[in-house]
Amino acid sequence: MLKREEWLDLARDVDWEPSYVSEEELFPPEIAGRPWLSREDWAGWDEPYKTSFPEYVTKQHEKDASVYAVRDAVGRVEDYEKLDPAWANGLKLHAATLPLAEFAAVIGNLRAARFGRSSAWRTMATFGALDELRHTHIPLVVMHELVRWDRQFDWTHRFYHSNNWVAIAGRHLIDELLLASNPIEFAVATNFVFETGFTNLQFVGLAAMARGAGDRLFEKMVTSIQSDEARHAQIGGAVLRILRQHDPAYAQALVDKWFWRSWLLFAVVTGFTMDYFTPLAARTLSFKEFMQEWVVGQFLQSLEEHGLQKPWYWETFLQSLDYYHHMVYASAYTYRASVWFNFVVPSPDERSWLRQKYPRSWGELDGIWERVSERWGQADPDNDFAVHGTAIVSFCDLCQLVLSNGTPARNSAVVVEHAGKKRIFCSEPCRWIFEHEPERYASHNEVVKRVLAGEAPANLVALLRRYFGLSYDDWGKDAYGGRYPWIVRPTP
């Protein structure tokens, strides 16, 4: 019998030279990606995390068994009823945005499993596709149990099939990142930027907070998923190394584009959860501190190792660490009926924690919560629309999210004329991404344009019901109906 080290390198890289078609017919550049290099150029493709199929299957079986054991122990509705209501809403946000994005990642990996230019890469991408199928399956199974408790968990499966504004933004990103990109762009964007740069933060950081919040199942689920991500993310560096040698400007442009796009998504999903939905006692670090440790520190180091620069908008990004997710959260609180999860008003203790963690920006943001609290003081409990916006808000023509970049005093939205049409962008990086590849994005309409074109109703409640797919039972409300111990109401 050969030892593992003697056969593995050969087995994971079994390849053959095509004889009755050309290499270019087998891997057309339109689908395999550009730059279209020769076989020899890809021959040195190598990633450090080598595994064989039997090893993979054995390990994954063990991982699944341990997730399901925790689910059997603490995954019932009675267990969830004990959790902090704010945390449960962070869960709904993750539950909706995660599983079907993972399913789109199955497709992205399968494209690389067929059209990746090195056979070792194709082998790894096959494992990656199996991983992502598991990441689709686990949250769907876990959250399904909770639908009978709280209808908002139904959005776990419904979200990406809806025209909810967050789903429109989510699809705009996920479809391009995971369904539409060729294997080269997929490897840099998904495996390198998204998985190495951001998923680490998301899963490692959130697992610690989930433990603090008493949600052992979420902790187990994300830790289990992360162990797969850490393996297949290795594809990214291996592809980037070869791309960087042949087309450094393209490599840099892909990193710049996908870092910004990924950042906006993570700021919303992880930023909300870490700084607003996690009980104060369980917050080990602020979202910004996590970003500084995992993204600013580690990701910049790996960029440097690849001979790449920081993205050109780095200063803008650093400023947005202090503001962006806070501004989107405040904006979304004010339009909470337009989403499928509930919100909380930060308490006086949470506000002083935020002031201490965000000394540069919180002074400008705190007044919003002062006013929201005053409005609740004048409104009856559960009368959500007394503390809610009514006019429709505007969205960015690239990221499709609300125009909440810059600072409260100086919103960074810019209007640009492109091919005779006015476009609005939340930030200079979003504008740059659009102008760099207008043919990719120009035909897509954000929500306000759909309203103006008569495709979606202009009245807010009609928009929520008829276009966003919400009903009174599942649209977002204040998690406490405005009943906070620090809110003083005049005695009737």
Please give the residue ranges that form the binding site for Fe ion (CB under 5 A). 102, 132, 135, 229
Least distance from C-beta 399 to Zn ion, angstroms? 3
215 binds, among Fe ion, Zn ion, none (CB under 5 to 8 A by kind): none
Least distance from C-beta 62 to Fe ion, angstroms? 18
Q: Which is nearer to Fe ion, 130 or 337 (CB)?
A: 130
479 binds, among Zn ion, Fe ion, none (CB under 5 to 8 A by kind): none
Burial label, 204 (beta-carbon count in 10 A; 0-12, 13-18, 19+): middle
**b/e 274-292 (16+ beta carbons within 10 angstroms → b):** bbbbbbeebbebbbbebbe
Calculate the alpha carbon distances from 108 to 39, 128, 230, 412, 433 in Å.
Answer: 22, 9, 17, 33, 21
Which has the closest alpha carbon to 253: 433, 396, 426, 108? 433
Least distance from C-beta 401 to Zn ion, angstroms? 6
Least distance from C-beta 355 to Fe ion, angstroms? 36
Least distance from C-beta 259 to Fe ion, angstroms? 17
84 binds, among Fe ion, Zn ion, none (CB under 5 to 8 A by kind): none
Least distance from C-beta 464 to Zn ion, angstroms? 23
Q: Which amino acid is at 385?
A: F
104 binds, among Zn ion, Fe ion, none (CB under 5 to 8 A by kind): none
Q: Which is nearer to Fe ion, 230 or 448 (CB)?
A: 230
Distance CA 450, CA 433 (A): 22
Q: Which is nearer to Zn ion, 118 or 270 (CB)?
A: 270
Burial label, 104 (beta-carbon count in 10 A; 0-12, 13-18, 19+): buried
**b/e 461-492 (16+ beta carbons within 10 angstroms → b):** eebbeebbbbeeebbbbbbbebebeebeeeee
Given a contact cutoff of 8 angstroms between Cβ atoms, the answer to whether 313 and 257 are in contact is: no
**62 three-class SS:** helix
135 binds, among Zn ion, Fe ion, none (CB under 5 to 8 A by kind): Fe ion
Q: Which is nearer to Zn ion, 238 or 396 (CB)?
A: 396
Helix (H) or strand (E) holding 465: none
403 binds, among Fe ion, Zn ion, none (CB under 5 to 8 A by kind): none
**CB nearest Fe ion: which residue?**
135
Q: Which is nearer to Zn ion, 335 or 395 (CB)?
A: 395
Q: Which is nearer to Zn ion, 323 or 369 (CB)?
A: 323
Q: Which is nearer to Zn ion, 94 or 261 (CB)?
A: 261
426 binds, among Zn ion, Fe ion, none (CB under 5 to 8 A by kind): Zn ion
Q: Which amino acid is at 476?
A: G
Residue 168 neighbours by CB under 8 Å, 6+ apart: 400, 446, 447
Least distance from C-beta 195 to Fe ion, angstroms? 5
Residue 125 neighbours by CB under 8 Å, 6+ apart: 109, 110, 112, 113, 116, 183, 232, 235
Q: Which is nearer to Fe ion, 102 or 397 (CB)?
A: 102
Least distance from C-beta 101 to Fe ion, angstroms? 8
Calculate the alpha carbon distances from 290 to 203, 357, 360, 404, 413 in Å.
Answer: 11, 12, 17, 21, 27
Distance CA 397, CA 430 (A): 8
Distance CA 211, CA 284 (A): 11
Distance CA 259, CA 321 (A): 13
Query: Residue 164, Cβ neighbours under 10 Å: how many?
Result: 24
Least distance from C-beta 375 to Zn ion, angstroms? 29
Q: Which is nearer to Zn ion, 173 or 387 (CB)?
A: 173
102 binds, among Fe ion, Zn ion, none (CB under 5 to 8 A by kind): Fe ion
Q: Which is nearer to Zn ion, 67 or 401 (CB)?
A: 401
Least distance from C-beta 292 to Fe ion, angstroms? 23
430 binds, among Zn ion, Fe ion, none (CB under 5 to 8 A by kind): Zn ion
98 binds, among Zn ion, Fe ion, none (CB under 5 to 8 A by kind): none
Calculate the alpha carbon distances from 318 to 189, 200, 260, 324 in Å.
Answer: 20, 19, 11, 10
396 binds, among Fe ion, Zn ion, none (CB under 5 to 8 A by kind): Zn ion
Distance CA 382, CA 485 (A): 15
Given a contact cutoff of 8 angstroms between Cβ atoms, the answer to whether 379 and 386 are in contact is: yes
Q: Which two tokens stand for residue 455?
A: 């495709």
Least distance from C-beta 173 to Fe ion, angstroms? 15
Torsion angle, alpha carbons of 289, 293, 296, 297, to 10: 150
Q: Which is nearer to Zn ion, 93 or 396 (CB)?
A: 396
Which residues lie near Zn ion (CB under 5 A)? Answer: 396, 398-399, 426, 430
